[in-house]
Amino acid sequence: MASAPAASSAQQQASDPTFPDLEFVGSEGGSVRLSELKGNVVLLNVWATWCGPCKKELPVVQRMYDTYSDRNFVVVSVNVDADRKRVSPFMKQFNISLPVYFAAPEDAGPLTAMGIPSTFILGPDRTLVDRAVGYSPEWEDRWKKVVEKHLKSAHK
């Protein structure tokens, strides 16, 4: 097999096409399990208040939420701060109104292993259809195309 930049990502998708069925606890109580979101396109964004690139990316995630949340699209915004008290003031400071969830430590490690912010876009069947680590201004357009493509396929 030829080595390509996306080979490890492609190998991961081929060996386990379905994203793990993780559960996240909500900052306002309650929880969400990814299997409960079946049929929706899910943008799973993992971030922290101390992360510089996260401060640039969260407004993009908010715009995605504002644009597509009236369709079969869900944003799961997962904070990995050790001190959860920092989250609410941070959200106010950056005018972010996304619902925030927290990962269990055993789930946070694999989600952030490549760095943060980490964003995973899951198709309606919970397959990983896109993944990004770090922040790039080009990703908003890329994510819109991926989400729109999978929103269309969800309605067929």
Asked if residue 5 belongs to a domain, the reply is no
Q: Note the pLDDT tens digit of each residue in 18-68.
A: 899 999 999 888 899 999 999 999 999 999 999 999 999 999 999 999 999
3-state secondary structure 2-59: CCCCCHHHHHHHHHCCECCCCEEEECCCCEEEHHHHCCCEEEEEEECCCCHHHHHHHH
pLDDT band at 137 (very low <50, low <70, confident <90, very high): very high
The CATH number for 146's domain is 3.40.30.10
Count structural domains, the chain. 1
pTM: 0.85
Determine, yes or no, domain membership for 126. Answer: yes
List the domain range (segments joined by +) for residue 72: 37-154
pLDDT in tens, 30-43: 899 999 999 999 99
For residue 58, being part of any structural domain is answered with yes
